[in-house]
């Protein structure tokens, strides 16, 4: 059976997360039902990361075994047709070898979290960012974030129901970027690691928001990390602003497949530079 990889973009608002569930809509279900329109049996997919309810993606990767060979372009076109009207799109597709797994072959995951600081209600970005009505000090948050880079016990920033065997992770990047908008400012948090704990990114962003708001000083982040206690964490940021932006592999699975023009997944190095 030929195996295919997809790069997937989705709006997480209508879904209870990536993973298929018995009684709630999921991104996995939408994709598998679309695949089921192309062959006799509905296949099961494997994803690089199980995003939570309301979390978005611009670079999720999934793999699947199909009953017959497809041209990657035609497969992507067929899936995008059958995915309508769900807010899910295939932006790259390639046939891969039998050893490739979207989950187990991945070497890294990159997330971006978006916060917009403004008092006026959001119109175009409502549900796609976390709106904070006060000004946040981006430089202070960047200072606090530096305490989290490297290999640490991230128990403080781990959901109570996290199923990971160990709370020890290596965070390669936590970068804070500030962008001026016509109304307000956008703060983007870029995080890059081999893998993440459940709710780790949202817990980190919620903690850094306390620093940006002036409720915590940057050194408080270090103390919270060293406490290795969930109670030391700041409030968990809502899912609205979180995006799975890219997944890294030893070899680009889409190099010889079909990729939307101009749609190569951004590497951590290719993200816009921070202002500080």
Residue 63 CB-density burial (10 A; 0-12 exposed, 13-18 middle, 19+ buried): buried
Give the DSSP H/E element, type plus range, for residue 8.
strand 3-10
Confidence (pLDDT) at 274:
39
pLDDT of res. 270: 47
User: 108-243: what CATH class?
Assistant: alpha beta
Instruction: Provide the β-strand partners of residue 175.
Output: 190
Reported for 19-28, long-range contacts at CB under 8 A and 24+ positions apart, including other chains, are 19/50, 27/51, 27/57, 27/60, 27/88, 28/62
Domain with CATH 3.30.70.660 in the chain: 108-243
Per DSSP, 124 falls in state: S
Q: Please report the pLDDT score of residue 265 as a whole number.
A: 54
- Mean per-residue pLDDT pooled into runs of 10, the chain (276 residues): 97 97 96 96 96 97 97 97 98 97 97 97 96 96 98 95 91 96 96 96 98 97 97 96 97 94 58 37
Do residues 64 and 3 make contact, with C-beta atoms less than 8 angstroms apart? yes
The fold adopted by the segment(s) 3-105 is Alpha-Beta Plaits (3.30.70)
Q: Do strands 185-193 and 3-10 pair parallel, antiparallel, or not at all (unpaired)?
A: unpaired
* Residue 185 DSSP label: E
Give Cα separations from 144 to 83, 98, 271 (angstroms): 41, 43, 21
Our answer to whether residue 52 is catalytic in this structure is yes
Q: Give the per-residue pLDDT at 271.
A: 45
pLDDT given for residue 61 in this prediction: 98
Q: What is the pLDDT of residue 162?
A: 86
Set 11, 52, 65, 153: catalytic member: 52
Parts of the chain belonging to CATH 3.30.70.580: 3-105
The residues facing 47 across adjacent strands are 62
pLDDT at 98: 95
């Amino acid at each position: 059976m030929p195996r295919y990889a997809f790069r997937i973009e989705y709006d997480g608002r209508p879904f209870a997360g990536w993973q298929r569930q018995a009684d709630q809509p999921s991104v996995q279900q939408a994709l598998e039902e679309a695949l089921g329109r192309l062959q006799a049996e509905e296949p099961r997919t494997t994803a690089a990361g199980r995003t939570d309810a309301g979390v978005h993606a611009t670079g999720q990767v999934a793999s699947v075994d199909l009953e017959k060979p497809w041209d990657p372009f035609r497969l992507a076109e067929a899936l995008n047709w059958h995915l309508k009207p769900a807010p899910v799109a295939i932006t790259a597709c390639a046939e891969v070898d039998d050893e490739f797994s979207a989950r187990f072959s991945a070497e890294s995951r990159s997330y971006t979290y978006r916060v917009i600081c403004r008092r006026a209600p959001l119109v175009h970005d409502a549900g796609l960012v976390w709106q904070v009505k006060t000004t946040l000090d981006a430089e202070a948050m960047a200072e606090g974030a530096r305490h989290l880079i490297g290999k640490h016990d991230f128990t403080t920033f781990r959901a109570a129901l996290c199923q990971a065997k160990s709370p020890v992770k290596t965070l390669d990047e936590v970068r804070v970027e500030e962008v001026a908008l016509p109304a307000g400012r956008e703060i983007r948090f870029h995080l890059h690691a081999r893998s993440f704990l459940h709710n780790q990114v949202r817990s980190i962003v919620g903690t850094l928001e306390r620093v940006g708001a002036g409720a915590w000083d940057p050194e408080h982040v270090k103390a919270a990390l060293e406490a290795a206690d969930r109670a030391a964490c700041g409030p968990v940021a809502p899912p609205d602003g979180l995006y799975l932006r890219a997944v890294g592999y030893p070899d680009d699975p889409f190099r010889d497949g079909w990729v939307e023009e101009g749609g190569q997944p951004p590497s951590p190095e290719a993200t816009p530079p921070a202002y500080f």
